[in-house]
Amino acid sequence: MHIPFPHPIQVPDYLDVIKHPMDFSTMRKKVESHQYSSLNEFEGDFYHVWHNATIYNQPDTIYYKAATQIRDAGRVSLQCLYTVEIRLFYPEDFFCNICSKCSVLLLRLLVT
């Protein structure tokens, strides 16, 4: 699913409503420039994107609904990524056989 979310510049009152904007392209840039110091920090930005979308858009809009679907898919991926992160430190205690699928899904969210 690819929903072309409007850029805040295209929506004149966006910054009047949303005081702390965050978007997937900014997150991608932060990943590429190694600005995240933890998965928790990445997760915070991920949920911030969803929160902003649900604050700005009405529940009956495609943007609100798409944001909720992305949040739900991302939640699964993030849980799996936490398992991967834990496995790196405690490999004998944890195993997740869908980590690669989760990682690919989350990366697709960021690349759109």
Angle at 17 between CA 71 and CA 31, to 5 degrees: 45
DSSP H helical ranges for the chain: 14-17, 24-32, 39-56, 62-89, 99-111
> What is the band of 110 on the pLDDT scale with cuts at 50, 70, 90?
low
Written as six digits, the tokens of 107 are: 């990366």
- The domains of the chain are located at 38-111
Written as one letter, the residue type at 112 is T
Q: What predicted TM-score, i.e. pTM, was given to this entire model? A: 0.69
Pairwise pLDDT comparison (10 vs 31), residue with the higher score: 31
Written as six digits, the tokens of 11 are: 């929506």
pLDDT in tens, 73-109: 888 888 877 776 655 544 444 444 445 555 555 556 5
Residues 65, 42: contact at Cβ < 8 Å?
no
> What is the band of 9 on the pLDDT scale with cuts at 50, 70, 90?
low
pLDDT value of position 52: 94
